[in-house]
Structure 1
Amino acid sequence: MNRSAYLTTGMAIKTLSRLSRANIVIHGREHVPGNAAIFVVNHFTRIETFFLPYHIFNLTGIPVWSLANAKLFQGGFGRFLELVGAVSTRDPQRDELVIKTLLTGEANWIIFPEGSMIKTKKIMHGGKYMVTDPKGMHEPHTGAATLALRAELFRRYLLLHSKKRSSQANCSLEYLGLGSVEEMGNAAPTIVPVNLTYYPLRAHENVASSLTEKLVKGVSERVLEEIMTEGTMLLAGVDVDIRFGKPIDIGAQLAHLVSDEELLQSDFNSFVGAPFFKTVIQGSGRRIMQQYMRAIYSMTTVNHEHLFASFLRMYPYEKIQKKDLQRRVFYAASLLQEREYQHLFLHKSMQEDQSHLVVDDRYRKFENFLQLAIDKGIVKKEGETLVRDRSKLSAPVSFHRGRIDNPVEVIANEVEPLKALQKFLYSLAWQPDFLLKLFLIRYLLKKANQQYHSAVEQWCSMSGIQKGSGKPIFYSSIQKRTGILLVHSYLATPLEVKEFAGYLHKKGYWVYAPRLPGHGTCAADLAGRSYQEWINEVDAGYALLSNTCRRVVVGGVSVGGNLALHLASRVPDIAGVFAICPPMQLRDYSSTFMPASDTWNKMVQKIKGEHPDEQFLKFAAESPHINYDRNPVQGIKQVGNLLDDLEKRFAKVTMPSLIVHADHDPVVRRKGSRKLFDRLASVQKEYVLMNSDRHVIVQGAGVEKVFQRVRLFIEGAEAQ
């Protein structure tokens, strides 16, 4: 192998990888051994052949060679494969080269145990790992295991006979092309399972496929399919999770099978050809192969499309409501995230808050998958109902056309080896819709309460802790099917709106008042929170009520009102939105909340200072038992970020809207809320001034008028 040519070609691959828009994330770096190893990898695209050696080389500093199908070594492409360190599976010196380089540590190796690309991702048949290719079905190859076992046998044989100064050691050295035993490393070779998961999986016309069709006459269907699929992945910014598993110690695997005495008693010729050793290698090789196949596929990185595709396949009825499918995926993703279910590995997007799946789909997880399923004829839409084509969800997928014609089935196939996941999803797929809704409500309430108690426990040693006032409020009802999502203000807790919530509940409404993260504990907790966390919590509250009630009205006090408007700008299904004393910009606040501009600038400069007290402002709270008496500078910045974000969204608030403000509000200037009102796109909207000199007008004297005015608005929204 020409090392100079290998490194030069590696530079070309490095350049190509920089041009690619693929987002590659490497996991399990700690599992990459320092000694020579065979990396066994699942094989879905040609991309692995080019980019994986480059990334492994970056981790180890050792050249990476690979075994490749002999049919690929034709013309210029064959020469390129040789330059990147690929060796034909039909090379007569293949085994000796692998064994020698493993012993010397000269190179690591990549071997694809499937023997070919698994374009359909169908690797399980009858509960066993079986490879399907155009020629038929067969077990994964044991080559990686047998080569590693043979290398370890040679290593032990050489070490034992060299210590005895036996002539058999020289025979072994000559056979492997080694000058001395010292060229050999001390550690046994290992096998490292590697999994690559691509997300999202798409295939369509791209620049590369278009050029190929124009420039190459008679291009085969196979080649065109690979360019369309893999070109799309590279050019469209696919996420690639490369996950290294725990190495399999071949020395430990072999130690109890072959004794030192047996190796010392064998001369070299009988050692190389002895039926006993071949039997040991073959039997152990098959067992080790099953071990690394399980390891490879257990590391599949589960993503949203795996869940959507699996539920479409498992759902017992021909038709499913769009919201029902979203609800099932939301519940499944949330449970998988929190329980770390059966040691599954989750895509980064599934390690975050999942409320968007049933609220506004702002990351288009559902919409993108649904469009794929519709485009490929897997489902068709009838209003809000999806009608599935069962024949395309269970029929065998064409080997060379599956990734283009039926990617949904390919996506579902990928997680078939994850048996615990399959059982879990199957149980949810068969759950009746009404029962699933009950489970979901119970889950969301339990989660909100657990988060609160965990936060209190975490910050209990801090001064100013507010025990008990931060618990979310939930009132159910059997009289009406309208839910009210009620959001408290900045620096407060749900206790602030408890009287209001009780009033609405007595009128027959379902009411939920969530706790905004960082509130109900201490100011130090709030200082580390972002406004996106507040949005997520409000979204979770909407998810709770919308799964129970026919209509949901959202509203809040001060910044809570801004959060309600933010939700309304993203969810047109909301029946109505109201905000009580909401600011439009930070400058709408008086000095009781915001310092003068010169003081503010000084505070921002000191935010990274050594004195923690300089990161907080004194706050004259209207309700000391509810509000913090310190206002974090970082918290004010997050309020500003929220208001800046919301300012771009007013034109998207189209449902009935109500803005209520105190005419002598000491905290928020009413000019700001009036300007906010004017910017709303709602056809039916109303601005109401209440006679009060307080900011939080849902507490204290005169609240009945505020409550009644909001109730009239809710009744009007219900009538729409």
Structure 2
Amino acid sequence: MNKFAYFMSGYALKALSGLSKARITIHNRERIPEGSIIFIANHFTRIETIFLPYHLYNITKKRIWSLAHADLFAGGLKNILDVMGAISTKDPNRNDLITKTLLGGDASWIIFPEGRMVKNKKLVNEGRFEIQVDKVVHRPRSGAAVIALQSEFYRERLRRMKTINPKEFKRLIDWFEIKDPEKVLSQTTYMVPTNITYYPMRAKENLLTSLAKKLMENPSQQIMDELMTEGSMILSGVQVDIRFADPIKISDYLNNSFVESDLTSRRKIFFSRRMCSAPVIKTASQDILHRFMVDVYGMTSLNYDHIFTCLIKYMPPSSQGIDPYDLRCRAYLAIAGKVIESGRCVHNAFYENQIHLLTDDKNERFTKFLDTALETGVLYEKKGKFFKKQEKFASDVGFQGVRMENPLYVVANEVEPLQDIVFFIKGIAEKSDVEIDQQIRHALKDKVLKDYDLDYEKCKSPSEPFDKEAGSPIFLDPGKGRPGILLIHNYLSCPKEMKPLASFFSKLGYTVFVPRLKGHGTCSEDLSQINHNDWIDSVEEGYVLLKHRTPYVFVGGFFTGAGLALELASRIPEIAGVFAVAPPLNVKDMGWRPFTASEFWHRMLQKALFVDKRSDDSDECTQNTCVTCYNENPAQGMKSLERLIKHLEQRLMSVTAPLLFLQSGKKFHSNTENALKLFKLVNATRKDFFFFNEDCHNLLSGSESTRVFRSIADFFALVEQERYQSMGK
């Protein structure tokens, strides 16, 4: 092979990869050993024979050659594959060539053990690895294991012949064209199981289909269909996860007396079925085959499509159909439960808070899956419910068209080798909607309490001991069936700030929950590890917790808490009503130095234009309530607050729930215009603005707090009455 041409092709591939929008993540690269390596990879697309060598070369800095399907060696594409070091699967000299390069250690190889692309990803049949193509069953091939064993067999024989038979040693050196025998003897052969997972899958015309038309003479419809599917996956921003398992050391499989007899024989030995150790080698190749198949397919990166597809597949048929929110609840329980705890490989997003699945699906994971399911006929909609066509999971549409016409069948098959995951998801799919509702209730309550315990234990600041009880989430359920109220505390504060208001509403029969905003209730250093999206997640958890316990939910808070309440209402139209005590409108540059809590509030009120800049008096009631506040305000926390306010400014017009805006009016009356500006940005059909003649910015903690509480309660009662009237009750 032309070494210069090989490296020049690398530059061409680098240029081509620059056009790709694929997001490639390589995991466990530290598992790749030094030595002669065969990478054993799953085979789903033809482009793997092009892009995988390029990325492996960047890791190992060795030439990477591969076996490519014979159909690709046609027209201009053959020249590209030749200079890249690809060998046709029908090349009669392929095994000898691979063995020579492995002995020398100058290049590594990629081999796909299926022997063909597995477009439907149907690999498991009654617990065995089998591949079915157009109703013909094939077993995975052990050829790669045999080549690895052959390479290591000759390496071990060279070690022995060097001492006991120099003439045979010389013959083998000449036969394999070995220039540096000591280098050969110092290495060993490994097989590295490699998994490639794509998410999501889409099919359309793309750059690769255009290139194929130019480079290949009359490309078949099969090739064009494949490039349409595979090219769009690479060029449309698909996530590609490449993972490596622990290497398989081939010399470990040669520790046998029969093998040793052949290794030390003074006569000429050719690695073949006629060796006395051939049965041992055959058994070893099958053991290696099973091991790397388990490793390769055990590393499938579970993603949202896997979870949703398997849930639908195993949900019992129902005349009531599938409720979309119920399906999202099941996905939440699956991901947050066994899937993330199993130790299996998962999409990076699984490590994030999954509460968005139960609110607005902010990343459109469910929405995009649903679009695919409807477009391909796996689901159909009727009166807001979805019904499945179970036959879509029973058989594919044929080897050539399955990825385009029934991609969710392919997705379901990809999970089958992970039997523990399949069993767990099936269990969730078969539960009743009542059981799922109860599990969500308990799971979220347990999670918020456990999260606080873990955060509190990790953060032990001797300079800032924080009362754990003050930071603990508050949940009050009088059990009277009234609506839920989500109360959100302020920045630098904690749930205890809202306890008087929470107790007031609980006595009126409301179910109340006060979540702990992430980074609070522990020590101020925690705020340096979070951002405003973490606070949004905390609020969403509280909302869903109440949603599963009460008929509907009100939400409100003070300053940052008020901003978070408005942000939530801008995305969740089901929220019944909102109250906002002095929500933030604008926070400019604060200098980012750490302030004490009282300094922070005086500076904040100035920047938000709620107090006269000439005044040196800080807000007394804020100082009084700051017994539950941090003593320091880290720069990262202030940046997160500023990002939240900027984000909120873009969301206010989307708030349509009834709104009660409460503002202190005595000391801060000169800034009424600024407060009204925020009020007008909200697009709610019903909104009220109350001023209170208070010297306290935080009206919930002032001398007139009881009157403020009653005003909020009266507003909620009025909204409740209007809701019942609109429902004809």
Query: Do these two structures clear the TM 0.5 threshold for a shared fold by scoring above it?
Result: yes
Tell me the distance in 2 between the aligned counterparts of 1:619 and 1:98: 79
What is residue 606 of structure 1 aligned with on the other side?
Answer: none
Q: Which residues of 2 match residues 232-631 of structure 1 at below 5 A?
A: 232-256=232-256, 258=258, 260-265=260-265, 267-269=267-269, 272=272, 274-318=274-318, 319-336=321-338, 340-467=340-467, 468-586=469-587, 592-593=599-600, 621-631=623-633
Change (3 A) 1:498 1:61: same
Tell me the distance in 2 between the aligned counterparts of 1:287 and 1:655: 64
Deviation for aligned residue 1:192: 0.2
Deviation for aligned residue 1:305: 1.0
Deviation by residue 1:34-54 (Cα, 9 ceiling, x = unmatched): 211000000011121101101
Deviation for aligned residue 1:715: 2.3
Moved more, 141-150 or 573-582: 573-582
Deviation for aligned residue 1:596: 6.2
Q: Secondary structure at the match of 1:276?
A: coil
- Contact 1:449-1:471 within 8 A present in 2 as well: yes
Change (3 A) 1:399 1:481: farther
Tell me the distance in 2 between the aligned counterparts of 1:642 and 1:544: 23
Change (3 A) 1:677 1:121: same
- TM-score under structure 1 length normalisation: 0.92
Tell me the distance in 2 between the aligned counterparts of 1:221 and 1:410: 21
Q: Secondary structure at the match of 2:425?
A: helix
Deviation for aligned residue 1:259: 5.1
CA RMSD of superposed structures (Å): 2.7
Deviation for aligned residue 1:576: 1.3
The aligned amino acid for 1:558 is: F
Tell me the distance in 2 between the aligned counterparts of 1:12 and 1:297: 31
Change (3 A) 1:207 1:33: closer
Moved more, 313-322 or 21-30: 313-322
The aligned amino acid for 1:375 is: E
Deviation by residue 1:666-697 (Cα, 9 ceiling, x = unmatched): 79955443221111001111111123222222
Tell me the distance in 2 between the aligned counterparts of 1:638 and 1:202: 36
Tell me the distance in 1 between the aligned counterparts of 2:138 and 2:326: 39
Tell me the distance in 2 between the aligned counterparts of 1:181 and 1:164: 16
What is residue 609 of structure 1 aligned with on the other side?
Answer: none
Tell me the distance in 2 between the aligned counterparts of 1:510 and 1:254: 69
Tell me the distance in 2 between the aligned counterparts of 1:668 and 1:581: 14
What is residue 615 of structure 2 aligned with on the other side?
Answer: none
Change (3 A) 1:346 1:173: same
What is residue 701 of structure 1 aligned with on the other side?
Answer: 703
- Contact 1:663-1:692 within 8 A present in 2 as well: yes
What is residue 177 of structure 2 aligned with on the other side?
Answer: 177
Q: Secondary structure at the match of 1:301?
A: coil
Q: Secondary structure at the match of 2:700?
A: coil
How high is the sequence identity, in percent, across the aligned residues? Answer: 37
The aligned amino acid for 1:52 is: L
- Contact 1:581-1:668 within 8 A present in 2 as well: no
Deviation for aligned residue 1:330: 1.4
Deviation for aligned residue 1:526: 2.5
Moved more, 299-308 or 622-631: 622-631
Q: Secondary structure at the match of 2:624?
A: coil
Tell me the distance in 2 between the aligned counterparts of 1:426 and 1:667: 61
What is residue 98 of structure 1 aligned with on the other side?
Answer: 98
Q: Secondary structure at the match of 2:38?
A: strand
Q: Secondary structure at the match of 1:109?
A: strand
Q: Which residues of 2 match residues 615-694 of structure 1 at below 5 A?
A: 621-664=623-666, 670-694=672-696
What is residue 44 of structure 1 aligned with on the other side?
Answer: 44
Tell me the distance in 2 between the aligned counterparts of 1:386 and 1:329: 16
Tell me the distance in 2 between the aligned counterparts of 1:13 and 1:185: 34
Deviation for aligned residue 1:638: 2.0
Deviation for aligned residue 1:573: 1.7
Deviation for aligned residue 1:299: 0.7
Deviation for aligned residue 1:479: 2.1
Change (3 A) 1:123 1:515: same
Deviation by residue 1:423-476 (Cα, 9 ceiling, x = unmatched): 111111112111222222211111111221222222223322222200001123
Deviation for aligned residue 1:621: 2.3
The aligned amino acid for 1:593 is: F
What is residue 89 of structure 1 aligned with on the other side?
Answer: 89
Tell me the distance in 2 between the aligned counterparts of 1:592 and 1:664: 21
What is residue 130 of structure 2 aligned with on the other side?
Answer: 130
Deviation for aligned residue 1:99: 1.0
Tell me the distance in 1 between the aligned counterparts of 2:670 and 2:26: 49
Q: Secondary structure at the match of 1:520?
A: coil
Tell me the distance in 2 between the aligned counterparts of 1:220 and 1:677: 63
Deviation for aligned residue 1:552: 1.4
Moved more, 522-531 or 319-328: 522-531
- Contact 2:577-2:716 within 8 A present in 1 as well: yes
Q: Secondary structure at the match of 1:193?
A: strand
Tell me the distance in 2 between the aligned counterparts of 1:283 and 1:215: 44
- Aligned residue pairs total 700
- Contact 2:570-2:651 within 8 A present in 1 as well: yes
Deviation for aligned residue 1:251: 0.9
Change (3 A) 1:211 1:51: closer
Change (3 A) 1:403 1:481: farther
Moved more, 435-444 or 100-109: 435-444
Moved more, 690-699 or 373-382: 690-699
- Contact 1:529-1:635 within 8 A present in 2 as well: yes
Tell me the distance in 1 between the aligned counterparts of 2:474 and 2:518: 15
- Contact 1:221-1:400 within 8 A present in 2 as well: no
Tell me the distance in 1 between the aligned counterparts of 2:669 and 2:532: 20
What is residue 615 of structure 1 aligned with on the other side?
Answer: none
Q: Which runs of 5+ in 2 are unaligned?
A: 591-596, 608-619, 724-729
